[in-house]
């Protein structure tokens, strides 16, 4: 297997510019909802060149509290099923991801929409281990401290006003579980891309405890979640 180049932090808007191709496109890695091209197009309607790749030295985690789950009322605060996905560096792990290109003019909106995340420039590989020519942007795990120091100018209290009734005061957590609607979508999206992608998602995606894989989680709680339909407002975005 080829060894990818080290990942690089993208802290400022200008850091993204060297990743833009001569024809004005930049590559994005998708590892959760964006494994579905249909879902990806709800956010990036003009994306091109959607394909599958391998990213070595990373694992997926359900460790970030997702704003969208509250606005669409699919978060279950009683059971703490409120988490979305991230990825973090991890020796010996790898994830199968989707890679596609968007126009460089979409970068500012992308940065704002995903600003809770750490942005990394990474080099994906083909499934047989050949590195891509161009690096891609990856949304990776951050910490609350880093987020409020480097990204959130309006301050902690102002940012969490929208979560007040849910008593949410932290974004990056190790005591939460996957939002059911989102987990179902990600699993079905991975399954639609074939057995290799599906099995990679089950075996290389972890709960926030960093110990329990999604396959093990299903063995414990059952797979009835995969039969639950998303609400009408999320049927396209989280339809699997």
Are the beta carbons of 99 and 53 closer than 8 angstroms?
yes
Locate the domains of the chain by residue range. 8-234
pLDDT (0 to 100) of residue 84 = 97
pLDDT (0 to 100) of residue 4 = 41
CATH C-level class of 8-234: alpha beta
- Cα–Cα distance for residue pair 206/64, rounded to 1 Å: 12
Q: For the chain, what is the radius of gyration of the CA atoms?
A: 17
pLDDT (0 to 100) of residue 167 = 76
Could you read off the pLDDT tens digit of each residue along the chain, which spans 240 residues? 333 444 588 988 899 999 999 999 999 999 999 999 999 999 999 999 999 999 999 999 999 998 889 989 999 999 999 999 999 999 999 999 999 999 999 999 999 999 899 999 999 999 999 999 999 999 999 999 998 888 888 888 888 876 776 778 899 999 999 999 999 999 999 999 999 999 999 999 999 999 999 999 999 999 999 999 888 888 888 887
pLDDT tens figures, 134-185: 999 999 999 999 988 888 888 888 888 767 767 788 999 999 999 999 999 9
User: Tokens 């940012």 belong to which residue?
Assistant: 159
Residue 96, C-beta contacts closer than 8 angstroms, at least 6 positions apart = 52, 53, 54, 55, 127, 190, 193, 196, 197, 200, 201, 204
pLDDT (0 to 100) of residue 26 = 97
pLDDT (0 to 100) of residue 71 = 86
Are the beta carbons of 49 and 101 closer than 8 angstroms?
yes
pLDDT (0 to 100) of residue 35 = 97
Q: How many CB atoms lie within 10 A of CB 231?
A: 11
Are the beta carbons of 181 and 234 closer than 8 angstroms?
yes
- Cα–Cα distance for residue pair 33/30, rounded to 1 Å: 7
Q: Which of 178, 179, 204 is nearest to 190 (CA)?
A: 204
How deeply is 188 buried, as exposed, middle or buried, from its count of CB atoms within 10 A (0-12, 13-18, 19+)? middle
- Cα–Cα distance for residue pair 230/217, rounded to 1 Å: 20
pLDDT (0 to 100) of residue 169 = 86
Residue 102, C-beta contacts closer than 8 angstroms, at least 6 positions apart = 25, 26, 28, 44, 46, 47, 48, 110
pLDDT (0 to 100) of residue 155 = 81
């Amino acid at each position: 297997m080829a060894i990818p180049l080290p990942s690089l932090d993208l802290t400022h808007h200008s850091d993204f510019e060297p990743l833009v191709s001569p024809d004005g496109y930049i590559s994005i890695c998708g590892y959760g909802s964006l494994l579905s091209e249909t879902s990806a197009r709800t956010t990036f309607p003009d994306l091109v060149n959607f394909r599958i790749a391998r990213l070595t030295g990373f694992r997926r985690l359900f460790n970030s509290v997702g704003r969208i789950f509250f606005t669409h009322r699919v978060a279950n605060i009683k059971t703490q099923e409120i988490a979305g996905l991230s990825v973090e560096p991890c020796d010996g792990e790898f994830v199968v991801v989707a890679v596609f290109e968007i126009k460089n003019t979409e970068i500012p909106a992308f940065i704002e929409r995903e600003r809770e995340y750490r942005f990394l420039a990474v080099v994906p590989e083909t499934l047989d281990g050949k590195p891509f020519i161009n690096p891609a942007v990856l949304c990776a795990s951050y910490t609350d401290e880093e987020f409020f120091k480097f990204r959130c100018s309006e301050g902690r209290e102002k940012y969490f006003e929208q979560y007040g009734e849910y008593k949410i005061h932290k974004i990056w957590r190790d005591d939460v579980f996957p939002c059911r609607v989102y987990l179902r979508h990600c699993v079905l999206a991975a399954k639609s891309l074939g057995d290799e992608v599906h099995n990679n998602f089950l075996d290389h995606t972890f709960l926030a405890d960093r110990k329990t894989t999604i396959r093990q989680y299903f063995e414990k709680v059952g797979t009835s979640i995969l039969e639950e339909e998303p609400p009408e407002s999320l049927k396209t975005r989280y339809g699997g």
